[in-house]
Amino acid sequence: MKRIISTTKAPAAGGPYSQAVEVNGTLYISGQIGIDPATGKIVEGDITAQAHQVFRNIGAILSEAGYSFVEVVKSTVFLSDINDFKAMNEVYATYYFENQPARSAFAVKQLPLGALIEVETIAMK
């Protein structure tokens, strides 16, 4: 059974997609960028500020669905500049400090709204 997950504690979907979908104990979270759900705008600052907001958004969606960061099995990180990899990794480690998920990270040409980072997430019960 497919369950659509939505919370006001993370940015609303900006198109014809859901914040997350759960199917058979697996949660698929759409790519999150550093939008503050209270303002609807990308947080000001560098990659560190945006990365923290991304993971706060992911945490809110995980929580709404009854999951936690420990249950994340795969992350895909998109960076607008690969030179931000080290700073992103430092932030990432503060959210995934145990039972780290599998991950890929790579640079892309552009991200929505001029974001510096976007992260897709898969979690399992």
Tell me the pLDDT tens digit for each residue of 58-111: 999 999 999 999 999 999 999 999 999 999 999 999 999 988 999 999 999 999
Which CATH number, 3.40.50.620, 1.10.10.10, 3.30.1330.40, 3.30.70.920, labels domain 2-124? 3.30.1330.40
Quick check: 21 pLDDT over 90? yes
The mean predicted confidence, pLDDT, of the chain is: 97
**Which pLDDT score is estimated for 96?**
96
What's this model's pTM, rounded to 2 decimal places?
0.97
Quick check: 12 pLDDT over 90? yes
Spell out the domain ranges in the chain: 2-124
Work out the pLDDT band at 14, boundaries 50, 70, 90. confident
103-108 long-range contacts, Cβ below 8 Å, gap at least 24?
103/74, 103/75, 103/76, 103/77, 104/75, 104/76, 104/77, 105/76, 105/77, 105/78, 105/79, 106/77, 106/78, 106/79, 106/82, 107/78, 107/79, 107/80, 107/81, 107/82, 108/78, 108/79, 108/80
